[in-house]
């Protein structure tokens, strides 16, 4: 007597990989807010980029741009911290062995700390310059001190993000957690910024890493890197 033929149960259907991931958009927001706070609202004293700036030039500065830059800068700091927390939860906690993932987290937090001071000094000028809410609090000599502190600090504060981009490159080529084309872009930008600082001696060039954040965030939003396949949208 022959046994009845039974069909094998169908294999469980695997969920399709998602093509859009919302959380990397925090990186895009960080870069765009940083661009406004650092570059768009950058205001220089003096008659030209090569002019010598002194206390006498302070009175001509417009406080509104400093006020706007300081406020948008605070939003940028908040976005950096949120992105660091989301990255920590979705990437670092999933791939606990990854050195690159931790470098990214630490870089974002370190930049947030540095930029808190930088944008705070920028906002202070928006509060104390001539015509501002508390324009009688400091004389021009005191305002000049704030101006000098603000000069490069919103640019220098992006250095840890440059290191974080190096972490992205490490995740791509050493750990296989990020697509190699994205890792190549992040690594090239890190190397370019490092070489440019070494050759020119300009300490503010790490601000270019904000554009790297925009690229990384946009790429990961629609990409298929292994860090995106952990089941969290």
Residue-wise pLDDT tens digits, 85-103? 999 999 999 999 999 999 9
Taking residues 5-31, what's their average pLDDT?
69
Tokens of 47: 């008659």
For helices 25-35 and 63-87, angle between their N-to-C axes, nearest 10 degrees = 160
The model scores a pTM over 0.85: yes
Coil vs helix vs strand at 142: helix
pLDDT at position 230 over 80: no
> Which distant-in-sequence residues (6+ apart) come within 8 Å of 142 by Cβ?
128
Position 55 confidence tier, pLDDT thresholds 50, 70, 90: confident
CA–CA separation, 233 vs 146, rounded Å?
43
For residue 87, count CB atoms less than 10 angstroms from its CB and return exposed for 0-12, middle for 13-18, buried for 19 or more.
buried
Q: What confidence score (pLDDT) does residue 232 get?
A: 44
Question: What is the number of other CB atoms lying within 10 angstroms of the CB of residue 208?
Answer: 18
Lowest pLDDT segment from 34-48, 108-122, 178-192: 34-48
Hunting for tokens 């001509």 — which residue is that? 60
Residue 11 pLDDT > 70? no
Please compute the mean of the pLDDT values over residues 154-183 and round it to a whole number.
97
Query: What is the reported pLDDT for 107?
Result: 98
Q: Which residue has the tokens 């870069």?
A: 31
Q: What DSSP state is assigned to residue 205?
A: G
pLDDT, tens digit, 9 for 90 and up, residues 21-53: 899 999 999 999 999 999 999 988 866 666 678
């Amino acid at each position: 007597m022959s046994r009845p033929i039974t069909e094998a149960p169908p294999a469980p259907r695997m969920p399709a990989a998602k093509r859009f991931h919302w959380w990397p958009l925090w990186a895009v927001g960080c870069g765009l807010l940083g661009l406004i706070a650092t570059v768009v609202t950058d205001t220089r004293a003096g008659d030209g980029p090569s002019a010598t700036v002194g206390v006498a030039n302070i009175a001509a500065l417009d406080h509104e741009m400093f006020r706007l830059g300081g406020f948008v800068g605070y939003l940028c700091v908040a976005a950096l911290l949120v992105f660091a927390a989301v990255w920590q939860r979705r990437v670092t906690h999933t791939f606990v062995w990854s050195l690159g993932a931790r470098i990214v987290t630490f870089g974002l937090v370190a930049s947030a700390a540095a930029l808190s001071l930088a944008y705070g000094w920028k906002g202070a000028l928006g509060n104390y310059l001539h015509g501002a809410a508390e324009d009688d609090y400091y004389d021009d000599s005191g305002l000049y001190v704030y101006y000098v502190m603000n000069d490069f600090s919103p640019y220098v504060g992006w250095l840890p993000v440059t290191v974080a981009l190096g972490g992205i490159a490490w995740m791509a080529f050493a750990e296989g957690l990020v697509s190699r084309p994205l890792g190549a872009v992040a690594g090239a930008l890190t190397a370019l910024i490092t070489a440019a600082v070494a050759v020119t001696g300009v300490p503010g060039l790490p601000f270019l890493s904000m554009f790297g954040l925009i690229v990384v965030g946009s790429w990961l939003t629609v990409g298929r890197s292994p860090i995106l396949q952990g089941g969290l949208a």
